[in-house]
């Protein structure tokens, strides 16, 4: 288990307990300032921090492979491309979604949204495997590495002012779940491009969301310190 800390280190912990404790296997000084995101693939670990840098580390030797400094504010999320594992995307408070190509060791494209900071990234499983971003202006945008502008958008239901903090595409690729500061989880159907369900349960903003592999349940974490598990139903609004 790899964890990022406020002291700029990432630390790897064993999931096996010995004498009631878990061993730290290694640690690495990765950034100046706190770590904002950690992701890993079989070949590399990618991190971002409050120094606004995105860094790639060798998975085995943990040597620094390369550093990108395209962002002017700390990245909030990092996404390793599901179709092309040499492509990595980052989204930040500076309203940028940046795609990097590790084969050429350079940024592939910079997407810019004029209205609000990017808070989370996911990826479609159909069409062109577009990157999905959510932001504090209540929009879910779709990005293709071949085009600088969004290729599509989902609006907040009813035109309400919603501040999205996290999003994830479902395992089948048909739905998107997005958590917001208003403590609600919004579920969108990509077939109709509409919001089909609003879920309540937290008493603070939702900061993380994950689908179960069978797509029947969603797990969320929030600012209230609670984690909630809910079953996806057909009704418009549900409480758990």
Tens-digit pLDDT profile for residues 123-174: 999 878 999 999 999 999 999 999 999 999 998 887 778 999 999 999 999 9
Between 125 and 225, the more confident residue is: 125
Residue 230: which pLDDT band, with cuts at 50, 70 and 90? low
Average pLDDT over residues 165-190: 95
- What does the DSSP assignment read for 188-228? EETTTTEEEEEEE--SS-EEEEEE-TTSSEEEEEETTS-EE
- Confidence check: pLDDT of 120 > 50: yes
| Confidence (pLDDT) at 232 | 67
Q: State the CB neighbour count (10 A cutoff) for residue 70.
A: 17
Residue 191: which pLDDT band, with cuts at 50, 70 and 90? very high
Q: Model confidence over 101-117: pLDDT tens digits?
A: 999 999 999 999 988 89
Percent of the chain with pLDDT over 70: 94
| Confidence (pLDDT) at 59 | 94
Mean confidence (pLDDT) of the chain: 91
Asked if residue 166 lies in contact with residue 134, where contact means CB atoms within 8 angstroms, the answer is: yes
93-132: b or e for each residue (b if 16 or more CB lie within 10 Å)? bbbbbbbbbbeeeeebbebebeebbbbbbbbbbeeebbbb
Q: Model confidence over 76-93: pLDDT tens digits?
A: 999 999 999 999 999 999
- 17 Cβ contact list (under 8 Å, min separation 6): none
| Confidence (pLDDT) at 235 | 38
- Torsion angle defined by CA atoms of residues 215, 144, 186 and 227, in that order, rounded to the nearest 10 degrees: 60
Residue 236: which pLDDT band, with cuts at 50, 70 and 90? very low
Residue 233: which pLDDT band, with cuts at 50, 70 and 90? low
- Confidence check: pLDDT of 240 > 60: no
């Amino acid at each position: 288990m790899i964890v990022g800390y406020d002291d700029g280190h990432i630390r790897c912990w064993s999931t096996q307990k010995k004498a009631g404790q878990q061993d730290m296997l290694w640690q690495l000084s990765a950034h100046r300032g706190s770590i904002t995101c950690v992701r890993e693939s079989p070949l590399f670990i990618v991190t971002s921090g409050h120094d606004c840098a995105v860094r790639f580390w060798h998975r085995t030797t943990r040597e620094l492979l390369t550093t990108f400094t395209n962002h002017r504010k700390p990245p909030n999320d990092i996404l390793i491309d599901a179709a092309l594992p040499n492509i990595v995307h980052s989204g930040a408070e500076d309203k940028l979604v940046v795609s990097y190509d590790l084969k050429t060791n350079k940024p592939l494209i910079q997407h810019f949204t004029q209205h609000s900071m990017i808070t989370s990234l996911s990826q479609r499983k159909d069409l062109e495997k577009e990157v999905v971003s959510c932001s504090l202006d209540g929009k879910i945008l779709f990005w293709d590495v071949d085009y600088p502008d969004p290729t599509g958008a989902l609006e907040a239901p009813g035109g309400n002012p919603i501040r999205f903090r996290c999003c994830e595409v479902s395992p089948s690729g048909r739905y998107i779940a997005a958590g917001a500061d208003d403590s609600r989880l919004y579920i969108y159907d990509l077939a109709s491009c509409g919001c089909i369900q609003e879920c309540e349960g937290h008493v603070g903003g939702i900061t993380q969301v994950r689908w179960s592999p069978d797509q029947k349940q969603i797990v969320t974490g929030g600012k209230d310190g609670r984690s909630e598990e809910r079953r996806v139903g057909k009704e418009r609004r549900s409480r758990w």
